[in-house]
Chain A
Amino acid sequence: MKIVYPIILAAVTRKKEEEVEFSGDVEALINFLCEKYKGLKKVLYNKEGFNKFINIYVNNEDIRNLNGFETEVKANDTVKFIPAIAGG
């Protein structure tokens, strides 16, 4: 599956996107990526949980409109992390 990283995550992953072999839900995928990239967890989470300024989209659908962090992802899916930006 394709994972697309925004600027703030790419600073840790050193790539804007990649193909990973994974099946499971979004929460497990995030754990998998946090294992792969040290420092990713610090960007994604605060002490209250997953940061509310970062949205996760599976095939352009917000996971909040799917099954949240329990949304299943599979081989041909595209997972995008999109944080709020403010530049103008």
Chain B
Amino acid sequence: MSDIILTQEQIKRYARQLIMPEIGGKGQVKLLKSKAIVVGAGGLGSAAIQYLAGAGVGKIGIVDGDSVDITNLQRQTIHAGNLGMNKAESAAKFVKTLNPDVEVEVYPENVNVNNVRDIIREYDVVVDCTDNFPSRFLLNDACVMEKIPLVHSAVLRFIGEIMTIVPDSACYRCVFPEAPPPGSVPSCQEAGIAGVATGIFGVMQATEAIKLILGLEILENKMLYADLLTMEFDLIDIRKDRNCPVCSGKVKDLQEESYVETCRIE
């Protein structure tokens, strides 16, 4: 672990966290040697990426096939000044300006059954900042199969949920075995999203990823569910479903038909 020696500039850059017992020099080296991939550079992703980069996560992968639209800027502040640019490229530009220590890998595409396992394989942690059920189930299943930790979060209006899935813990499918049929739960486009909700939960995702890299306590087998209107935060125990088709090991490969409609795996 100690083959990286912090430079004088890095000692200054990370001074506020180097003095913390939870991070220190050893933790900083761990962060600089770690690789995190953020899938989706929208509301959650914009917030998560900023703090992963600030903390000095050594390599950050950014996956997004969309381009920046004016309706995004109410919450996706990382993309300021980049209208029309691919979101992964735009986010990478921010990271490079903020912290030259961070290597950024841009994937200007969306994840699918054919590319997801190859994309995530080299990373230590995957941060799910996508905005649709098929991508969320796909990332869960791919991470379980590849044994890569996944930090999940999803938001709607003032509501949000977050949980961290690690090998052998309960997975997303243990909590929600199926997605709602299209049209039964409104999307952010239909029901709205408070910009602050994506900010808060995206930063919490970065917190989870950083703690995971440092070996600190994470939301394993726990889901934090919060209503930011009432500021009620519930920490819910979640349990592994022995019949879960994915984390029980029954299903070993991703199949195209598992990521349509309700994302059910028979």
Interface, chain A (partner B; CB < 8 A)? 6-8, 43, 46, 51-53, 55, 57, 60-62, 64-65, 80, 82-88
Contacts and interface: CB of A to CB of B under 8 A. Distances in A.
A82 B129 CA distance: 20
Contacts of A83: 180, 185
B153 A88 contact: yes
14 contacts: A6-B159, A7-B156, A7-B191, A51-B184, A52-B176, A52-B177, A53-B178, A60-B235, A62-B238, A84-B154, A86-B133, A88-B42, A88-B44, A88-B130
A61 B235 CA distance: 10
Interface in B18-74: 40, 42-45
Interface in B158-216: 159, 161, 175-181, 184-188, 191, 193, 198
Given A7-B159, A82-B225, A87 B131 contact: yes
A7 B178 CA distance: 18
Given A87-B187, A88-B130, 13 more contacts: A7-B157, A8-B186, A51-B178, A52-B176, A57-B234, A57-B236, A84-B179, A85-B161, A86-B179, A87-B154, A88-B40, A88-B131, A88-B188
Interface of B: 40, 42-45, 128-133, 136, 153-157, 159, 161, 175-181, 184-188, 191, 193, 198, 225, 234-239, 241, 262
A46 B179 CA distance: 13
A23 to B, nearest CB: 23
Nearest to A52: B178
Contacts of A82: 161, 225
SS class of chain A's interface: helix, strand, loop or mixed? Answer: mixed
Given A53-B178, A62-B236, A62-B239, A84 B185 contact: yes
B237 A53 contact: no
A43 B184 CA distance: 8
B92 to A, nearest CB: 18
Among B157, B185, B193, chain A packs the most CB atoms within 10 A around the CB of: B185
A27 B82 CA distance: 52
Contacts of B157: 7
Contacts of B161: 82, 85
B180 A60 contact: no
Given A86-B187, A88-B44, A53 B235 contact: no
Among A7, A46, A53, A65, chain B packs the most CB atoms within 10 A around the CB of: A53
A61 B237 contact: yes
B239 A88 contact: no
B155 A8 contact: no
Given A82-B225, A88-B155, A51 B198 contact: no
A51 B237 CA distance: 21
Contacts of A6: 159
A55 B159 CA distance: 15
A82 B185 CA distance: 11
Given A6-B159, A52-B177, A88 B154 contact: yes
A88 B45 contact: yes
Nearest to A61: B237
A52 B133 CA distance: 14
A33 to B, nearest CB: 18
B227 to A, nearest CB: 8
B179 A53 contact: yes
